[in-house]
Amino acid sequence: MTTKTSSSTSWWKNAVIYQIYPRSFKDSNNDGIGDLQGIIQQADYLSSLNVDAVWISPFFKSPMKDFGYDVADYRDVDPMFGKTEDFKQLLDVFHKRGIKIIIDMVLNHSSDQHAWFSESRQNKKNEKSNWYVWADAKPDGSPPNNWLSVFGGSAWSWDPRRAQYYLHNFLTEQPDLNVRNPEVQKALLADCKFWLDLGVDGFRLDVCNFYIHDEKLRDNPPSEKAVKFIEGVPSNNPYNMQSHDFDICQIENYDFLKKLRALTDEFKDRILIAEIFNDGNRDLIRNYIEPLGPLHTAYSFSFLVDQFPHEALKLSLEKLTSGTTPFWAFGNHDVPRVNSRFAPEFGGAEFSKQIFSFLSVVGAGFFLYQGDELGLPQAEIPFEKIQDPYGKNFYPIFKGRDGCRTPIPWDESANSGFNLSFEPWLPIPTDHKSLAADSQDKNPSSLLNLVRRMFSERKNIQGVLTELKVKDGLISFKRDTYSCYYNFTPEVSVFSLHSMDALPTFSHHYHLENNQLTLKPYGSFVGRSLT
């Protein structure tokens, strides 16, 4: 499973990658939905953040049953977002600013409106009959096995045309491609090459450990332990009750990913970032990324949980000291906003200062989800306004993913500058308007301006971690000429240290007197020795 490392592709190892959920970023044509021209309009804003790359969630042609993660045409831009010419312009605008563009490739499944599926479902003998995962019913008419959909219910749906079941790990409208089929692999690689030829700098690979299923379609056994969290899977979802031994994570998955890596390596400085959907199995993640696996890196779900993951943080820091390069992610479009998950009582800008100080000093790359640089809290969406089918299925215990997907507040106008007048596809909370980007831009001490300064300064911090100490949420280490102390707890903590000069950009909620450092809850101190 070992793969060649592309020595030229190293820019990502300390990169800040900003995730854009295009529906909610900026609406340029006043139809209530964000678009590619809206992203272009905010290029200077993104450049001011000092980010290295932008990851754009799917903008391909789609019926939008899962808001773009159900692709109907991998080579076409959905009219909702613009045209291919708009994307070419976007590439040019951002590349001229030195910002790379990563796009989201959804290769596990397509939309049921993709031309491939339309042909495949017609009968069992057409050219694409084996392009999706089809199986006969059991003698009693029930599904082929006990596999469950992440979004609820059986992972199998009956198609009367073929008189067979088809597999869908997510919505019924998202049939799973049969990536075991060499012809399917060839077609998917050709679609990826289309975008590489166009100039994208890499792919974020949606649920890339789902691509290959067990050929024998064996039942999953019950889970031997209560799974506390799989990203985006609520506690009342029976998906958590199975051990997913056969529906995902098959060894043959690596063979296809090696082909994708070989294709990517034909282009200079391109990157493959894995989303590995699982319950925090770090061994699995290591098998997918360099130096063992075919992909460049992956972000762990260990920090996308409901409670602050002290043990996972400790393990990730220990990996850094041994030379491993993790990719950090504390938020994305599938989980509640980081402030609302980890420290609601200290939330907003105060907690965000701690997170961004840590990420800026510790090293390695990380994702920044749109709006987190403003300190946005999770939005409360009333049931009648919920758009996410996942939320509708599991309401009220789980209200879906809309709360982290509301439009970005650019100013304090009626629609917060997202557009001029048309009602946005999701409501913009009142408390988000007070955190609008233009207001923060005018305030030198705002979170937005603090993030800008930290992301600029972090580029000058070199070297590996040394003298790492981690205990019960208290972290200290040295990196380069910096001594760093973090209190990831709601309690006051005290450290003894030599005389230090604090770096105000990175230090928050602390008091230093007579070489005694007091860190308030979620406080941080980064300094240089004065002796």
Catalytically annotated residue among 140, 224, 266, 513: 266
Which residues are within 8 A (CB) of 354 and not within 5 positions of it... i.e. 6 or more apart?
486, 488, 508, 509, 522, 523, 524
Looking up tokens 């030829």, which residue turns up? 197
Q: How far apart are CA 363 and CA 382, in angstroms?
A: 40
3-state SS record for 97-161: CCCEEEEEECCCECCCCCHHHHHHCCCCCCCCCCCECEECCCCCCCCCCCCECCCCCECEEEECC
| Catalytic (active site) residue 31 | no
Query: Which three-class secondary structure state does DSSP give residue 411?
Result: coil
Q: How far apart are CA 332 and CA 20, in angstroms?
A: 9
Catalytically annotated residue among 52, 173, 201, 206: 206
Q: How far apart are CA 200 and CA 84, in angstroms?
A: 13
CB atoms within 10 A of CB 433: 18
Q: How far apart are CA 468 and CA 477, in angstroms?
A: 4
| Catalytic (active site) residue 266 | yes
Q: How far apart are CA 517 and CA 241, in angstroms?
A: 46
Bridge partners of residue 164, in order along the sequence: 159
Q: Measuring CA to CA, which residue among 400, 367, 368 is closest to residue 383?
A: 400
Looking up tokens 């969406």, which residue turns up? 381
- Active-site amino acid positions: 206, 266
